[in-house]
Amino acid sequence: MTGAILSINSGSSSIKFGLFETGDGHVQYAAGGKLEKIGISPRLDVRDRAGDVIATREWVGKADLTHETLLEDLFGWAQEHLPHRPIAAVGHRVVHGGTGFTAPVLVDEAILQQLEGLCALAPLHQPHNLAAIRAIARLAPCLPQVACFDTAFHAAMPDVATRLPIPRKYGEQGIRRYGFHGLSYEYIAQALQEAHPALAGGRVIAAHLGNGASMCAMHGGRSVDTTMGFTALDGLVMGTRSGALDPGAVLHLVQHMGLSAAEAEALLYRESGLLGLSGLSSDIRTLHASDDPHAAQALESFAWSAARQAAGLCVSLGGLDTLVFTAGIGENDAAMRAAIVDRLGWLGAALDEDANRRHAAVISSAQSQVNVLVIPTDEEVMIARHTQRLLAGSG
Ligand code: ADP
């Protein structure tokens, strides 16, 4: 297949995208960027291969512009950007594939309806992922579209890592651990294999620390355990999500403190985590800049929960050889990386302070018994690779 692939990662208030040229079985980044502040004051930034901004557009105060209208604009830009390489397919990040979808799939109406049935499992993400597919289908009905699932990378986890300790009949109905951020972890596994093949075969924890945060235990490049479970709520303290908490606390909030199911959902997904603990912000930069003691406590909880979850994953790996930090916080926040690694000192993990400050590729000290790396993630290229492979196979 030659032509271009557009990767779309559509969220509630932003759409990340990448445009890739294809050829010789490979994809090459041509341009990409982010449409953000949807629902407030949308803004589009496009960067080229060198990272230079090549287009910006602002819709100041246009809070009523829908995802669909903005996607139309984005799709128009993508069609014009590579005039000699027409768009051959669009690949999408779709958060939940349930038990039925364990590999990327060419989307048709029947599949779209099955995926819509999974919206309740990822209410914050899945509806936006699927709305983007529908929007592109309306603009270009004959264009192949591929859904790439965040759950797929974890599909082969050992059985024990997928079970929830509740009556078996619920497990049989799909109430089990799935895991998320799979496109990011798959990218990290491939990047690690390219840069450090000796480490890629070992016991690795990848820490995807963004607004959503999780960790994945990988052995030989495959997921063997992960911190998110049935939904993307479990595991680490996140920007606005609680992470792991006693299910009894949720029952108590609903049964004795008057929260409706919808209010409990809003509390757990949108009002908790760093935002809930600090009462200030879900953005870690704002918390670092604040002298409010609640901001410091929120940061402490984030580091504590990350280190505690990493220690739990060591059980599934039988130890730890390599820890990889990625995503917004993992790639950029040296102080948070240090706070987490410090709490893992008993494993023999230690940082080279200067390398950490510089966000170097390897940030562990020469004496450290755990290799600590920083690898920028790239979910969009992973989507493009899957889309290209699937179409090449079916073409
Ligand atoms: P999302 O899950 O929405 O893709 P990101 O991966 O962009 O999120 O991560 C967002 C988080 O990363 C925010 O808490 C933000 O403060 C943090 N972050 C982004 N850039 C930096 C930076 N340069 N320094 C410190 N933190 C950063």
Residue 183 covered by a domain: no
Closest atom of ligand 1 relative to the 286 alpha carbon: 16
The two three-digit tokens of residue 301, written as one number: 């909880």
Q: What is the pLDDT of residues 299-333, one digit of tens each?
A: 999 999 999 999 999 999 999 999 999 999 999 99
Give the pLDDT confidence score for residue 142 in this predicted structure: 94
Residue 101 covered by a domain: yes
Give the Å distance between the CA of 174 and the centre of ligand 1.
32
Residues 355, 244 within the same domain: yes
Task: Name the least confident of 46-55, 197-206, 244-253.
Answer: 46-55
Residue 386 covered by a domain: no
Residue 178 covered by a domain: no
Out of 149, 175, 207, pick the residue that ends a domain.
Answer: 149
Q: Is the CB of 332 under 6 A from ligand 1?
A: yes
Residue 337 CB neighbour total at 10 angstroms: 26
Q: What is the pLDDT of residues 157-178, one digit of tens each?
A: 999 999 999 999 999 999 999 9
Domain of 112?
4-149
Measured CA distances, 33 to 15, 17, 371 (Å): 9, 6, 31
Residues 98, 219 within the same domain: no
Residue 284 has pLDDT above 60, yes or no: yes
Residues 228, 346 within the same domain: yes
Give the Å distance between the CA of 269 and the centre of ligand 1.
17
Residue 296 covered by a domain: yes
- What CATH number should be reported for the domain holding residue 48? 3.30.420.40
Q: Given ligand 1 and candidates 241, 270, 285, which is best to mutate, with the most ligand atoms within 8 Å of its CB?
A: 285
Report the chain's terminal Cα–Cα distance, integer Å: 8
Q: How does the average pLDDT of the chain come out, rounded?
A: 95
More confident residue, 14 or 166: 166
How far apart (Å, rounded) are the C-alpha atoms in residues 199 and 375?
A: 13
Give the Å distance between the CA of 2 and the centre of ligand 1.
34
Any idea which residues carry the catalytic annotation?
150
Residues 137, 248 within the same domain: no
Residue 160 covered by a domain: no
Residue 221 has pLDDT above 60, yes or no: yes
How far apart (Å, rounded) are the C-alpha atoms in residues 249 and 309?
A: 20
Is 266 exposed, middle or buried (CB count within 10 Å of its CB: 0-12, 13-18, 19+)? middle
Residue 96 has pLDDT above 80, yes or no: yes
Q: Which residues contact 210 (CB under 8 A, 6 or more apart)?
A: 239, 327, 328, 329, 330
Residue 395 has pLDDT above 70, yes or no: no
Give the pLDDT confidence score for residue 1 in this predicted structure: 55
Q: Is the CB of 284 under 6 A from ligand 1?
A: yes
Average pLDDT over residues 377-384: 97
Q: Which residues contact 345 (CB under 8 A, 6 or more apart)?
A: none
Q: Is the CB of 283 under 6 A from ligand 1?
A: yes
Closest atom of ligand 1 relative to the 11 alpha carbon: 3
Closest atom of ligand 1 relative to the 16 alpha carbon: 4
Average pLDDT over residues 218-224: 97
Q: What is the pLDDT of residues 134-143, one digit of tens each?
A: 999 999 999 9
% residues pLDDT > 70 (the chain) = 99
Residue 242 has pLDDT above 70, yes or no: yes
Residues 142, 208 within the same domain: no
Residues 350, 201 within the same domain: yes
Nearest CA to ligand 1 atom 3: 211
Q: Given ligand 1 and candidates 333, 340, 359, which is best to mutate, with the most ligand atoms within 8 Å of its CB?
A: 333
Residues 140, 211 within the same domain: no
Residues 269, 338 within the same domain: yes
Residue 174 covered by a domain: no
Give 62's pLDDT tier (boundaries 50, 70, 90): confident
Residues 79, 201 within the same domain: no
Q: Is the CB of 252 under 6 A from ligand 1?
A: no
Q: Which residues contact 145 (CB under 8 A, 6 or more apart)?
A: 89, 90, 91, 92, 106, 107, 133, 136, 137
H/E stretch holding 4: strand 3-10
Residues 240, 338 within the same domain: yes
Residues 246, 352 within the same domain: yes
Residue 156 has pLDDT above 80, yes or no: yes
Residue 384 covered by a domain: no
Residues 208, 333 within the same domain: yes
Domain count, the chain: 2
Give the Å distance between the CA of 163 and the centre of ligand 1.
31
How far apart (Å, rounded) are the C-alpha atoms in residues 94 and 321?
A: 31
Residue of 309, 233, 310 whose CA lies nearest to 273: 233
Give 394's pLDDT tier (boundaries 50, 70, 90): low
Torsions phi, psi for 184 (to 5 deg) = -65, -45
Q: Is the CB of 265 under 6 A from ligand 1?
A: no
